[in-house]
Amino acid sequence: MALYKDGNELTHTESEDFDKVHSPGDSAPFSGIYLCINCRDEYAYNAGDPLPPQNHRQHSANKGAIRWRLLVKTQRGPN
Ligand SMILES: [Zn+2]
């Protein structure tokens, strides 16, 4: 589970961007941290980078398919 220290720097949202589930090889739609909903691994990706394929670490068959979901989305500053 991702960690943070200063919750004042994070904003809760109900955006549907966080509900979509992506397959290995799909381009990351946003820069941020993605969670595999089956094995709970978390990785940071830049928008447009391919999400990792089936050879990402320690994904045994009993954990099911790799399915990435956006966990934390980065945003640019107001300037
Ligand atoms: Zn996984």
Q: What is the pLDDT of residues 60-76, one digit of tens each?
A: 778 888 999 999 999 98
Q: Rounded to the nearest whole angstrom, what is the distance from the C-alpha of residue 38 to the centroid of ligand 1?
A: 5
Scanning the structure block, which residue is given the tokens 């589970």?
Answer: 1
Does residue 38 form part of some domain? Answer: yes
Q: Rounded to the nearest whole angstrom, what is the distance from the C-alpha of residue 77 to the centroid of ligand 1?
A: 31
Does residue 78 form part of some domain? Answer: no
Cβ within 8 Å of residue 2, ≥6 positions away: 33, 35, 42, 71, 72
Q: Rounded to the nearest whole angstrom, what is the distance from the C-alpha of residue 9 to the centroid of ligand 1?
A: 28
Q: What is the pLDDT of residues 9-46, one digit of tens each?
A: 999 999 999 999 999 999 999 999 999 999 898 999 99
The tally of domains found in the chain comes to 1
Q: Rounded to the nearest whole angstrom, what is the distance from the C-alpha of residue 73 to the centroid of ligand 1?
A: 19
Does residue 62 form part of some domain? Answer: yes
DSSP letter at 51 equals P
Dist. CA 40–CA 62, nearest whole Å: 13
Q: Rounded to the nearest whole angstrom, what is the distance from the C-alpha of residue 20 to the centroid of ligand 1?
A: 16
Task: Give me the domain span that covers residue 24.
Answer: 18-73
Does residue 7 form part of some domain? Answer: no
Burial classification of residue 53, based on how many CB atoms lie within 10 Å of its CB (0-12 exposed, 13-18 middle, 19 or more buried) = exposed
